[in-house]
Structure 1
Amino acid sequence: MTKRITQILCWNLFGILLLSSQYYSYRDGFWFDIDSTIFHFFNHFLDGSHKTFLYLIAVTNHRIFDVISFVAMALLYYLYFRRENKDEKQKMIALGLMMLMMAVLIKQWGRFIPIAHESPTLYFEPFESINRISKLTHFGTKDASGDSFPGDHGMMLMIFAAFMWRYFGLKAFIQSAIIVIVFSAPRIIAGAHWFTDVYVGSLAITSIVLSWFLLTPASDYLVHCLLRLIPKRFFKTS
């Protein structure tokens, strides 16, 4: 128990330090320098001379592409689901519902963080010429946000990765972490999010909240509660 408490406190300290560093440097300093460098590096390649890359980023930032990221997570989850026996499959159904519940709750909790800023496209646009994929492609795609912190899309992906680590081990975490990187990258490349919106904001909030849930009996308890509440007919074909 002492080991678990130490782990929880370490994850909380990690998250608090990340948020604090972001709060004091998101307009100037360490994180802003990193954010600015990453944004300008990728924005250079969105000038229209690299058509394939431009349209790739446009397509992967369309709202429909969010469904593909969900499908990728579902497929990975299914790979582990199909290996289990009937009882474990039932637990995994309840676990999947719990992940969705936690994603909604954590997203709402993130709104209370006292950090708010516009996306890099909107921040830099008044001061310099930047490339906006929505204007260059005339494609309904996301390349800006009035309040991009924290990265909601990245947070959902990270919540999935955390659950996979907790219940299926390191290999499952590495596989899901690849999904996090692949599907969060288009938002950053397009300038709809700063790098730190995802890898500071989303990571910090996920670390703080989920540590109290996944490193305590709370998650297992909720899974068992959901198992009792879900109608048994949903398990007949499991």
Structure 2
Amino acid sequence: MENTTLFQAQWRWPRFLFCHFFAAALLGLWLFEPVRAAFFTFDTQLFHLLNAPLADNAAWRLVWAIASLRPFDILVGLILLCLLIRGDWLYPAVQVRAATLGFIATLIMLLVIRVLFTKLAKHTGWQHASPSERIPGAVHLSDYYPEWERRFELKDRSSRSFPGDHASVLMIWALFLGCFVRTAWQGLLVGGLAVLFMLPRLVAGAHWASDDYVGGLVMALLALAWSMYTPFAAWASAHLLRLTAPLFRPFKRVPLLNRLSVVRLP
């Protein structure tokens, strides 16, 4: 980035409107019955493709059972955080803290949108059960690992799987970092990780694919629009930089931590 500031404190109308148009078009297609039937067929076929091998392949079943545990989400979060705060990769090291705080502000925007969108989905009857609840013969990982289910919660079913809130977080992370990618490899890594970490819920049957690529993406696009393409991200990042500066000072004296760009700079 050559700009001295990471975020633009202005309305970027073309991108703002494009995000809303794309989100509205995607949701509209999903609600249009003939197209929705095609979505359902694709979702069902994809679920069978991903879920059926769990019945006969113990190694495959173990891998996805681990990936469907709640504690695994912590590992995923750490991986995403490491890429977010890595200096001189997508943005200069001196701007890492601003980028991190801007992303936190974007997550807050996503939370607000998710609450409103979920209420809308409930009011309009868009909510539905997950494929593991609706498709006969679906493989439930919790049946194979009941102790893991009891202790850690295996995310393999849901009575209200739309929209995909887990996917919305992964997508907003990918879209946010996508605003700063400079090479195709960076874009492939960011997008590939988002898709990879969405797979456990799809394999286990906690979500239909359209819960993610419709519901999750719609929320992420709206959050991106209202955060990155309005003055909000610039305003929130600037204020959070000032408010959190005293919190980072003690960590500058901690070995290893003081080498992180988010702690050391600015």
Matched, 1:133 2:141: yes
Matched, 1:33 2:41: yes
Q: Structure 1 CA distance, aligned partners of 2:228 and 2:249?
A: 25
Report the counterpart of residue 194 of structure 1 in structure 2. Answer: 208
Give secondary structure in 1 for the equivalent of 2:54.
coil
Q: Structure 2 CA distance, aligned partners of 1:147 and 1:133?
A: 18
Q: How many residues of Structure 1 are paired with residues of Structure 2 in the alignment?
A: 232
The answer to whether the 8 Å contact 2:64/2:204 transfers is: yes
Deviation at 1:169, TM superposition (A): 4.6
TM-score (norm 2): 0.77
The answer to whether the 8 Å contact 1:26/1:32 transfers is: no
Report the counterpart of residue 239 of structure 2 in structure 1. Answer: 225
What residue identity is the alignment partner of 2:174?
A: A
Aligned-pair identity (%): 26
Matched, 1:119 2:130: yes
> Which segment drifts farther, 58-67 or 209-218?
209-218
State which of 152, 157, 163 in structure 1 corresponds to 2:165: 152
Matched, 1:5 2:13: yes
Q: Structure 1 CA distance, aligned partners of 2:45 and 2:230?
A: 39
What residue identity is the alignment partner of 1:7?
A: R
Matched, 1:56 2:63: yes
Q: Structure 2 CA distance, aligned partners of 1:113 and 1:231?
A: 38
What residue identity is the alignment partner of 2:17?
A: L
Gaps of 5+ in 1: none
Q: Structure 1 CA distance, aligned partners of 2:145 and 2:35?
A: 30
Q: Structure 1 CA distance, aligned partners of 2:166 and 2:245?
A: 31
Q: Structure 2 CA distance, aligned partners of 1:156 and 1:208?
A: 12
Q: Structure 2 CA distance, aligned partners of 1:189 and 1:64?
A: 17
The answer to whether the 8 Å contact 2:110/2:219 transfers is: no
Q: Deviations over 1:118-173 (max 9, x none)?
A: 1001112xxx3222111133342111001011111111111111221224556544
What residue identity is the alignment partner of 2:47?
A: F
Q: Deviations over 1:5-36 (max 9, x none)?
A: 23222221111111122234499611111111
Give secondary structure in 1 for the equivalent of 2:20.
helix
Distance 1:52 1:90, change over 3 A: closer
Distance 1:41 1:21, change over 3 A: same
Give secondary structure in 1 for the equivalent of 2:85.
helix
The answer to whether the 8 Å contact 1:81/1:92 transfers is: no
What residue identity is the alignment partner of 1:63?
A: R
Q: Structure 1 CA distance, aligned partners of 2:34 and 2:68?
A: 24
